[in-house]
Amino acid sequence: MKKLVVTGSSGLVGSEVCVHFATLGYEIHGIDNNQRAIFFGPQGDTRWNQERLQTIIKNFHHHEIDIRNRNGILELIKNIRPNVIVHTAAQPSHDKAASIPFDDFDTNAVGTLNILEAARQFAPDSPFIHMSTNKVYGDAPNRIKLKELVTRWDYDDAKYQNGIAETFTIDQSKHSLFGASKVASDIMVQEYGRYFNMPTCCLRGGCLTGPNHTGVELHGFLSYLVKCNLEVKKYFVYGYKGKQVRDNIHSYDIAKFMEAFIEAPRMGEVYNLGGGKNNTCSILEAFEITQEFSGKEQVYEYKEQNREGDHICYYSDLSKMKEHYPQWDITISLKETIKQIVDSWKKRINQSHE
């Protein structure tokens, strides 16, 4: 039986990967120490997802270990000798990083290096997939000429009609400390691929979402927005008139791309992983779609000051992904994704009240 190691296995993408590859016959080894609850408090707790995986996956092994624990990670990878490593664990908040710079860098950069080196020593031929972020581009996308529409901003430059490609600059811009630590890990994953001829790739995610996301104010845009709507809790909009745009990709489609990469891996590759232009929405548009499925008005407050280094408009050009892996494409629409998130939060909120 093939073995898959997933870091951050109780998170949104990690848990989706665990479930998907279990259906393909893999033995799953999840690494997660619920650090999200430390970063974000009780509302970020993911133990429920860990328990769900242990219930529904027959060959699931949970490893309570921090990726910053170098010796622990080396020993674990040495013992498992995985056929695939999917690295999703991170300090994921753009804003939180400024108040915890050492925790952020040690988790995102050093933690990634720990896993990479363990892979080089004990599983050098196994595909290594790293969940990077579009924040590696910093605020450079804000230099692209934009046009203001009724409910959103959009690119007003034909070069970017399909979104941001992997050739876009990551240099000479403001990233946030989170973006900088993710740049470090992104480049290191590429370097291990090119320097040591290891099958690695960085997936520069846009808004990754789905029904198993535990969204909080500092991370998890759509999930947190839906939660606020259902609980009739005020959602804060920061700058850009609420017209800032993101592309959203369901975690299932992420897992399917990973499957495609594993079947035909490449060395040191980079892909902009998002929903693409067809799965974009602004915050105002997300309110409207959520209200359609929840039946509740969105309560929100607008604050003029935007988040530092935030993108006004960002969506991924999926051309390279589709060229390298033509069998892959987006299968779950934005509306269907939001409907699933609404249904999931309704269920969780009801259970918490029982």
Q: Say whether 65 sits in a helix, a strand or coil.
A: coil
**Spatial CB neighbours of 44, under 8 Å, sequence gap ≥ 6:** 36, 37, 214, 216
> pLDDT value at position 310?
83
Residue whose C-alpha is closest to residue 55's, from 11, 18, 1: 18
> Domain map of the chain by residue range?
3-352
pLDDT digits (tens, 9 = 90+) for 242-278: 999 999 999 999 999 999 999 999 999 999 999 999 9
* pTM of the model as a whole: 0.94
pLDDT digits (tens, 9 = 90+) for 93-137: 888 999 999 999 999 999 999 999 999 999 999 999 999 999 999
CATH level 3 topology of 3-352: Rossmann fold (3.40.50)
> What single-letter DSSP state applies at residue 93?
-
Percent of the chain beyond pLDDT 90?
89
Which segments of the chain does DSSP mark as H helices, in order?
12-23, 35-40, 47-56, 70-80, 101-105, 111-122, 176-196, 221-230, 251-263, 283-294, 319-324, 334-352
> What single-letter DSSP state applies at residue 106?
I
Tell me which amino acid residue 145 is. Answer: K
> pLDDT value at position 40?
87
pLDDT digits (tens, 9 = 90+) for 159-208: 999 999 999 999 999 999 999 999 999 999 999 999 999 999 999 998 99
Percentages (nearest 5) of helix, strand, coil residues in the chain: 45, 20, 35
pLDDT digits (tens, 9 = 90+) for 139-165: 999 999 999 999 999 999 999 999 999
Cα 319 to Cα 235: distance, rounded to the nearest angstrom: 34
For residue 215, what pLDDT band results from cuts at 50, 70 and 90? confident
pLDDT digits (tens, 9 = 90+) for 216-235: 887 788 999 999 999 999 99
**Spatial CB neighbours of 75, under 8 Å, sequence gap ≥ 6:** none
